[in-house]
Amino acid sequence: MKARVLEKLFGTVAVRATAACDAGGGGYAAAGGIRGSRAGGYALRMVMGFVMTQASVLGGLSPFGVAFVAAQRTSGQAVFAALGAALGYIVSNTDSGLRYIAVCVLTLTAYTLLDGMAPSRARRPSLMPVTAFAFNAVTGVIYWLGHNSARGGRDAAALVLLVTELLLTLGCGILFQSALARAQGGGSDGGAFSGAASVFGSAEFGSKRAGGILAIGACTLLALSGIVVGDILSPARMAAVCAVMLCARRGGVGAGAASGLCMGLVMDLGIGAPFYSMSYGSAGMISGVFKRAGKFWTAISFVCTGAVSALWALSGPHRLSVLLEAFAASVIFMLIPDGAFAALGASLKTPENVMRAERVRRLAHTRLTRAAEAFSNVYGALGGVFSDIPSDDEDIEGVFDRATKEVCGQCARVSQCWDAELPATCAAIRDAAKRCRERGRLDKNDLSGYFAVRCIRFKQLLAVCNRELTAMLYKRQYAARVREGRGVLCRQYAVFAGVLARQAGELAAIPENDAAAERRLSRWLQTWQLSPRVSVYPAANGRMCAELEGENLSILLTDKRELARGAARALGWMVNEPEEAGVASLDRLTLWESEPVMATLGVAAHKRGGQPVSGDSGAYFKTDDGVLYVILADGMGSGAEAAADSREAVGLLEGFLRAGLEPLQAMESMNTSLLLKSGGGALFVTLDLLSVDLMRGRLSSFKYGAAPTYLLRGGEVSRVTCETLPGGMENGRAPDIFSQEMDAEQWVVMISDGVADAHDDAWLTGAVAELGGDAAQAPRDAAAYILRQAMRRGGAFDDMTAMVLRTKKR
């Protein structure tokens, strides 16, 4: 039946187009093939095709129906758009109506032919608007020539109108097509009409598509502006006035003036005179001044300004229409809730340089990956070169060889000792070299009686041997330092390569924003009279983050608890109250997801008697990915020098962790830094690092020569001990590592070595076991209690620090 009806209207072209539609599934079928959605989309296209034909400008030009047909992506969509356009042109009964219908039929023919050669997705987006432009130009020129021959002259005004019509056909076709296109990644069949929200709900919403939606809205208002109630009120103009007031309320002076001018120009095209643009533009500009004063003053200022401009510039029936329409629209505007257009406003925001940001991200990922590969290649090359360098470890025999050449070469008995008695001389030197290896120094008793009796330069030989032996030992020490420095350098290149590779991986795996949560949060912010830019995305470690950028965000900080509760209801996950350090700039506010595990830390410290400061240092901080780090360092000795060493170690380790290094990499880099700084001297620091992942509920301990850590879990106390040397003493050694899943409630006690002896800490184990009792202490009080008990047991002869951490799942 459908084929026979279409054949009567448009011939066989329409029949083939419909068949293509039915076979190819064009239009609005969702992923599951829901026919109701497809039929609704076709019906909506037919209605819009009819509406577009009712919009006419410059005394009867109405190419918008043709442009709408050319904006479709498939022949199936174009068939129903053309049906609506044909009915519209027949109803309007204009002189050019038949010509427009002919252009629609020719455009459908082109759709059918092109669908047979290439799918719609393989065609250039502007191909069909250009095709419609060409058909309209051919038929328009023929019509213009026939019109001129009938009048016996050349009508230049008609030619200008024809050129204008052709430009409107091409421009509106391209804009309409941008508005109807799906978001990037979607199919081409559904378009924007597959649902009411899909018109404005695209994640990839650029300025071109915004212009297309504006063009469709303007043509719709222009088409409906002819509908007048009581010969005075036009619902379309009232909608335009409401839109201008909404823009002024949200965007201020600039948005109000621009929207008023655009809406006024659209209305002026219908009457052929610049009346509404002046009235709407001036009223929108003035009402934008009262953006922050409230909806009432926005509406009053718009009505008053519109009334003054209408009384001054307009005449006839338009004067009363403007006054009554502005008043009626202001009443409707006052009745609209502030949050009603939150989703629309959020959707109409154009993302700032989305494609440029994506290109920058890909470029940064590529550069970081190549830099990581380069550092890794350098590590491999240097490791191979350094391993091939022969060690310059000279044996003791070389020391005696040089000493005897220097001393015996000047002796008168050299031929007797080294020629006649050579076996006995060599045996005596071997015995002396053996004793020298064992002790590292040559003594006169190490030389056998052979030298003492026969050598006339015995004292000189002994001094030269000791001098050469000292030089050899210094040379060995220097060579060892060089090899150690080369090894440290190689490992640093490996660490750099690992860090860069990790950062490149994070850039490559950046997840997409949560568009639904952004819309919900935007709607909630509307209740605060705020419309900032909102971005909701999963950050590192899977922790959700919401960023707000806009004006007057300080209003949200008046009640942080209410802010956290309201944002949590909108986002669907618990939100931390913003900290003062995170809201220093009131035009930017960051809301973080609450961690499933909460932690409380208490610290107590005591310096050694007679010292101005403690040699222990510590720090604790939480990163954006929800990981709590606790650092405790103990400088060797006591006093200011030990304090300076421990503070420097803590500062460097904290810097490494905040820069994004993993705890193991940070500890190894810290050890390397101490080695390089000491240069073989005495710069040793014990390092104790506790990593608590509050998002995943995991605890890890990393130690270099540190005192034991005590864990209370499920009523049982366990000790985490350490076998490595302090940081800065051992090259290439990884720290001792301990890791476990956290219990529902857990206590962790970190101490410096002055608190308790690792071999006599039963009292401390008992004190830790009491932390989980019914009358559980606060961590700060528990740390102070442990320190008091240590001092009673005679611990005042060293610096003491106790850090008590309590974790509990929410």
DSSP for 642-707 reads HHHHHHHHHHHHHHHHHTT--HHHHHHHHHHHHHHHHTTSS--EEEEEEEEETTTTEEEEEEESPP
Query: The tokens of 735 are what?
Result: 């720290």
pLDDT at 150: 56
Contact call for residues 30 and 194 (beta carbons, < 8 A)? yes
SS3 529: coil
Classify each residue of 727-756 as buried b or exposed e, where b means 16 or more C-beta atoms within 10 Å of its C-beta. Answer: bbbeeeeebbebeeebbeebbbbbbbbbbb
Could you give the C-alpha distances from 279 to 123, 282, 373, in angstroms and in order? Answer: 44, 6, 65
Burial of 373 (0-12, 13-18, 19+ CB in 10 A): middle
Give phi and psi for 712, each to the nearest 5: -110, 115
pLDDT at 351: 46
Contact call for residues 502 and 660 (beta carbons, < 8 A)? yes
State the helix-helix crossing angle for 295-313 and 317-335, rounded to 10 degrees: 180
Query: The tokens of 649 are what?
Result: 């170690």
Give phi and psi for 589, each to the nearest 5: -135, 135
Contact call for residues 707 and 666 (beta carbons, < 8 A)? no
Q: Which residue reads 């011939």 in tokens? A: 11
Could you give the C-alpha distances from 594 to 143, 429, 537, 578, 779, in angstroms and in order? Answer: 70, 77, 14, 11, 21
Q: Which residue reads 């109701």 in tokens? A: 36
Give me the percent of the chain exceeding a pLDDT of 90: 10
Reading phi first (left if > 0) and then psi (alpha if -120 to 50, else beta), residue 687 is in beta
User: How far, in whole angstroms, is CA 499 from its chain's centroid?
Assistant: 18
Query: The tokens of 297 are what?
Result: 């003053």
Cα–Cα distance, 145 to 154 (Å, whole number): 8
Cα–Cα distance, 243 to 755 (Å, whole number): 72
Cα–Cα nearest to 714, from 684, 742, 672: 742
Angle (CA) 105-108-112 rounded to 5° is 140
pLDDT at 715: 83
Contact call for residues 620 and 654 (beta carbons, < 8 A)? no
pLDDT at 189: 41
Cα–Cα distance, 314 to 150 (Å, whole number): 39
Low-confidence stretches of the chain (pLDDT < 50) are 1-35, 121-122, 182-206, 314, 343-344, 346-355, 385, 388-393, 581-585
How do residues 641-700 score in pLDDT, each as one tens digit?
A: 888 888 988 988 888 888 778 898 888 888 877 776 765 555 678 999 999 999 999 999
* C-alpha dihedral sign at 675, 680, 682, 686: positive
β-strand partners of 82: none
8-state DSSP, 57: B
β-strand partners of 635: 685
* C-alpha dihedral sign at 732, 736, 742, 746: negative
pLDDT at 240: 80
Q: Which residue reads 């050669």 in tokens? A: 117
DSSP for 220-274 reads HHHHHTT--BTTTB-HHHHHHHHHHHHHHHHHHHHHHHHHHHHHHHHHHHHHTSS
Angle (CA) 501-503-507 rounded to 5° is 115
Cα–Cα distance, 155 to 293 (Å, whole number): 55
Question: Could you tell me where the DSSP H helices lie in 93-206?
Answer: 97-117, 127-151, 156-180
- Contacts for 319 with CB less than 8 Å, ≥ 6 apart: 310, 311
Q: Which residue reads 């803590």 in tokens? A: 650
Q: Global pTM?
A: 0.52
Cα–Cα distance, 768 to 710 (Å, whole number): 7
Give phi and psi for 572, each to the nearest 5: 90, 10
Return the H-helix or E-strand segment holding 534. strand 533-538
pLDDT at 602: 93
Query: The tokens of 697 are what?
Result: 């509920």
Other CB atoms within 10 Å distance of the CB of residue 355: 11
